Amino acid sequence: MTETTRAHIFVCTNKTEPECLNRKLFGTSKFYASDVLEVKSGDLLFLLNVNSDVLYGIFRAKSDGRQNIVPEAWKGKYPYQVEVEPIGDVQAVKDAKKALQKSGVEWHKPLSASMAERLLTFFSYEGSEYLKEAKEKWGLLTPQKVNNKQFSFAEAVSELEEKPPFEATTLWDYPRQRYGKIPKGNNKYPGVTPAFIIWNMIQRYTEPGDLVLDPMCGSGTTADVCKEESREVICYDISPTRPDIVQNDSRKIPLPDNHVDMIFIDSPYGDNIRYNEHPDCIGKISSETETFYEELEKVMSECFRVLKPGKVIGWLIGDQWVKKKFTPVGFNVYQSLSRHFDTVDIICVVRRGQASHTGLWYNRARRFNFFLRGFKYLFIMRKPSQQPEKQEKRNIKWAFYDRNRTKTKSS
């Protein structure tokens, strides 16, 4: 298969399938927006009903993937869409998930060329001159070759550009700093931000084309993630490490009011790390002093000013334990943030790659009765909307379980 011809599997349910087929329109939510925006006119498309376990094909994209081709489709729930047309008669493959797994086709992501080749062998080409020509052009595998080989998902995933997991809980744990084949920041930089965090933030709280700001960009992780995910980005740092980071003190951000769609900050936690030699670096101030929090609050005030109403800021911070003294840096920072923003949620991010994550330090922590820092806080806060929301009485139905209920025989 050539690099210019690609394939994608869209997903539907019994409820959404009729609209997909009748409108000749496939769609998805914003969480998979980047995948849909990669679809180009002429790409091969397939539709997997995850309820009935049936794969429909073969379709061709009539349009590039874009937002709101038909805004009212699926009542607006799936705004990232592509127009499609069937190639010949629409064919159905039953027990599709098992067949895809056997052939090493990862249907959660855009397909690699070899996956697309294997997928096409599920379908008949007799009625389509387009696919007959494609078969010769691409040298497709025959069904017999596919049936005679078991493709593992490890093989399948290795063919694709890795994407982070989309987080659903308030505990985030990443095995390493970066993902994918393209570097995200510099993992040798002191206190480098895990790229997975920024990816999850922009997937949840921005749309492609939105403007993201990082006032303390360090080695440029935010810039790299945003560029790869089609977000505009402005990055500042008091001591820039590369040309696309503008030199600036985050206590005075040179942007208009209500200008950016999201802000991400991985700020110093005190003077525990030597970030740079700039004399005004906040990372030279001890978090055991009030001055540290006063300076960070100046940054918060500027972030509040430049952030659009109703938009979100994510602030990554950790606590400190040094010389037998614990400093709740995270709680103190949260208290300051709460004076400016409304709380969306609080995430615990597992700390990995720390210098203290060695057998020697684990042994010391047990012997001398102290705790190593195991997590950081990610405070997700929202700038209040200019229009005050109408406060309505909330009716919440809680589930209660009878602790005194009679045990059944099976229990």
Domain identity same for 115 and 177: no
Domain identity same for 134 and 241: no
Domain identity same for 138 and 195: no
- Residue 340 pLDDT: 95
Domain identity same for 231 and 103: no
Choose one of 156, 190, 225: the last residue of a domain.
Answer: 156
CA-closest candidate to residue 34, choices 225, 183, 221, 233: 225
**Cβ-based burial of 220 (10 A; exposed 0-12, middle 13-18, buried ≥19):** buried
For residue 396, tell me if it sits in a domain: no
For residue 162, tell me if it sits in a domain: no
Choose one of 156, 179, 202: the last residue of a domain.
Answer: 156
Digitized pLDDT (tens) for each residue of the chain, 411 residues in all? 444 457 889 999 999 999 999 999 999 988 888 888 888 888 889 999 999 999 998 898 999 999 999 999 999 999 999 999 988 788 888 888 888 888 778 776 678 777 777 787 787 755 555 555 555 544 444 444 434 444 343 444 444 456 778 888 999 998 888 888 788 888 788 778 889 999 999 999 998 899 999 999 998 999 999 999 889 999 999 999 999 999 999 999 999 999 999 999 999 988 877 888 898 999 899 999 999 999 999 999 999 999 999 999 999 999 998 888 999 999 999 999 999 999 999 999 998 866 666 778 788 888 888 888 888 999 999 999 877 666 677 787 877 777 776 555 544
Domain identity same for 178 and 148: no
Alpha-carbon distance values, 214 to 166, 221, 295 (Å):
21, 10, 17
Tokens 């208009």 identify what position? Answer: 256
For residue 309, tell me if it sits in a domain: yes
For residue 406, tell me if it sits in a domain: no
How would DSSP label each residue in 215-282?
SS-TTTHHHHHHHHTT-EEEEEESS-SSTTSEE--TTS--S-TT-EEEEEEE---SSSS-----TT-G
Its domain, for residue 84, covers: 7-156
For residue 392, tell me if it sits in a domain: no
Domain identity same for 228 and 376: yes
- Residue 107 pLDDT: 72
Domain identity same for 150 and 220: no
b/e 286-300 (16+ beta carbons within 10 angstroms → b): ebeeeebbebbbebb
For residue 391, tell me if it sits in a domain: no
For residue 394, tell me if it sits in a domain: no
Domain identity same for 175 and 101: no
Domain identity same for 136 and 178: no
User: Please, what sign has the CA dihedral across residues 220, 222, 227, 229?
Assistant: positive
Helix (H) or strand (E) run with residue 157 in it: helix 153-158
We report the CATH number of the domain holding residue 112 as 3.10.590.10
Domain identity same for 75 and 27: yes
Helix (H) or strand (E) run with residue 337 in it: helix 329-338
We report the CATH number of the domain holding residue 311 as 3.40.50.150
What is the domain count for the chain? 2
- Residue 370 pLDDT: 85
For residue 409, tell me if it sits in a domain: no
- Cβ atoms within 10 A of the Cβ of 41, count? 12
Domain identity same for 233 and 108: no
CA pair distance 166, 121, nearest whole angstrom: 31
Domain identity same for 330 and 209: yes
